[in-house]
Amino acid sequence: MARGVRRVWTALLGLLGLVAVGAIWEGYKAIGPDDGVLIGETRVLPRTTDLAMPHLLDMVRRLGEPVTSAPGAEPLWRAVYDAASTSFGIAAVGWLVGVTVGLLLALLMQRIRLAEYGLLPWIVLSQTVPLIAFAPVVRRWGNQIEIGTWEWPPWLSVALIASYLAFFPVAVGALRGLQSPARIHTELMHTYSAGWWATLRSVRLPAAVPHLLPALRLAAAGAVVGTVVAEVSIVYPDGIGRQLITFAGQASGDPAKAWAPIFGAVALGLVAAVAVSLIGLLLRNYRRGEAL
């Protein structure tokens, strides 16, 4: 019973937060000066014109209207939903690839000390390569891959770039987790003459869960950001990244429209976060003393 009440409270608080953001937006728009708040030459708070800050109601109303007045144009929310779902699918594939690679790397590094010394610096270094330098290279390589009749589809390039951001927290987090059991436990397994595999299954993997779950969450965030940036960078036509750019280009004549894909991107991030927390729910028996 108490648990149920707490859940209702959590939901209410979340909703309240949303309402508060909306109230701050409209409140500032109502009382803020048209030209924003300036300290010297620097604008610290934005302009409050309809161009810079459309009314929330206008943005919501715009979502219900067709994308353009072309005959047969779908409503804006539908276009945003389609683009966001496409991006979600790509991000999910990127996340899965990243998590798999990250886990395998962590296992390798746990098993062979030398691999840890050899690989870990490179894994850290890999994240310093800027995405915009890396993306065109992936696209070019992808374009050249053809196996029989199978051609490397452009979305796979996007997923690969997303996985590049996603694997890092998993590799590092899972390694920390796999190494976290106290010596006394691993030595106990040793006295049972349990092999590496048995120790992994009954001691190391369960112990890794509290480290792994935050890593999976970071990986999800990385995969979503990587997907959106990579879509823009390699000119992938169907995702939310491209939609953000094209609708931003139309923001002068149709200011509310430019906000629609931003809502889409926010929803995408939320759905990804919820999906990962479901995994946490399934693994809750192992979540003692989670390292948040």
Of these, 59, 80, 92, 272, which contacts another protein (CB under 8 A)?
A: 92
In the complex, the smallest distance separating the C-beta of residue 209 from another protein, rounded to whole angstroms, is 11
Q: To the nearest 10°, report the CA torsion of 150, 153, 159, 161.
A: 100
Of these, 89, 119, 186, 267, which contacts another protein (CB under 8 A)?
A: 89
Of these, 11, 24, 51, 145, which contacts another protein (CB under 8 A)?
A: 51
Instruction: List all residues 6 or more positions away from 167 whose beta carbon is below 8 Å from its beta carbon.
Output: 97, 98, 99, 101, 102, 105, 219
Q: Which of 114, 2, 21, 58 is nearest to 255 (CA)?
A: 58
Q: Which of 189, 211, 187 is nearest to 198 (CA)?
A: 189
Torsion-angle region of residue 235: left (phi > 0), alpha (psi -120 to 50) or beta?
Answer: left
202 sits near another protein (criterion: CB under 8 A): no
Token couple for 118: 């050899």
219 sits near another protein (criterion: CB under 8 A): no
Query: Contact region for another protein (CB under 8 A) — 47-55, 103-111, 113-121, 186-194?
Result: 47-55
14 sits near another protein (criterion: CB under 8 A): no
Torsion-angle region of residue 40: left (phi > 0), alpha (psi -120 to 50) or beta?
Answer: left
191 sits near another protein (criterion: CB under 8 A): no
In the complex, the smallest distance separating the C-beta of residue 68 from another protein, rounded to whole angstroms, is 4
In the complex, the smallest distance separating the C-beta of residue 239 from another protein, rounded to whole angstroms, is 9
Sites of contact with another protein (CB under 8 A): 47, 49-52, 67-70, 85-86, 89-90, 92-93, 96, 132, 135-136, 139-140, 143, 149, 151, 153-156, 159, 232-235, 237-238, 242-243, 245-254, 257-258, 279, 282-283, 285
